[in-house]
Amino acid sequence: MVGFRPYAPLNIPKPFGEAIWIVDGPEIRMDYGPASIPFPTRMTLVRLGDGRLWVHSPIAPDAALFDAVDALGEVAWLIAPNSLHYWFVADWQQRYPQARTAAVPGLAEKAKRSFRVDAVLDGGGVPWPREAVDAALVPGTSVTEAVFFHRVSRTAILTDLIENFEPRRVIHPFYRWLVRLSGAAHPDGKAPIDLRLTFWPKRRAVRAAVRAILDWDCRRVVMAHGLPYVENGSDELRRALRWAR
């Protein structure tokens, strides 16, 4: 059963600012206890200063998507940005064996599908030029997420720390009710309540990371699920991350 009306066209890079593109992908289903919940997918592409590409949260690929990415540049980095968004990295590694892969701490050991990790995003720095893409690590008990800032386009790139589902795009009434109940519904999208609670035991480190994120001069915000923000990015970050401040 389809859960969401997609942000068409799918599997096509769409400009989101200078040297940055988003790619909306096919819907997947995520296991949640004995059930599974549908989720739309999205990845973000950034062109680094040397012309090569940085690929955030790779989605399920097809031949046409690979061709479209190749037309933009050489893939240099594949990013597994949190403890949940990694499944398709292995497929992209097969296509781009020369690309390096960066992942959040501990993911290589507990991932349910194996993939190569070349660099760990531990909060101590990034293995590419920081003046191109900065990062902050938000540590959690079940999910740890690296949040990024593309300086050229002034775009914050998140995965699940903000979810912003538009209720009108949620097809099934039950899923629409879940989205609203979780607190992840537009116009007040944020991390769902069950995810927020898992960060509580590490709240001091979380608050420090959020302070660093809020210091970015942000215009746009893109996330893996839901409507991105094309303006007032700093304000949207303050609103959506107020639970962690």
Taking only the tens place, the pLDDT of each residue in 90-118 is: 999 999 999 999 999 999 999 999 999 99
Residue 20 identity: I
Q: Where does residue 17 fall: left (phi above 0), alpha (psi -120 to 50 degrees), or beta otherwise?
A: left
217 token code pair: 């001069």
Domains in the chain (CATH in brackets) are 14-240 (3.60.15.10)
How far apart CA 108 and CA 121 sit, in angstroms, is 12
Full-prediction pTM beyond 0.95? yes
How many other CB atoms are found less than 10 A from the CB of residue 70?
Answer: 13
Q: Write down the pLDDT at residue 123.
A: 83
Q: What parts of the chain have a pLDDT lower than 50? A: none
Per-residue pLDDT of 204-240, as tens digits, reads 999 999 999 999 999 999 999 999 999 999 999 999 9
66 token code pair: 């690979």
| Sign of the Cα pseudo-torsion (83, 201, 243, 207, in order) | negative
* 160, 97, 113, 86: CA torsion to nearest 10: 0
80 token code pair: 């597994």
Residue 10 per-residue DSSP state? P
Contacts of residue 235, defined as CB under 8 A and 6 or more positions apart, other chains included, come to none
Q: Scanning the structure block, which residue is given the tokens 């997947």?
A: 28
Q: Write down the pLDDT at residue 33.
A: 65
Instruction: Return the ∠ at Cα 189 (arms to 65 and 81), rounded to 5°.
Output: 45
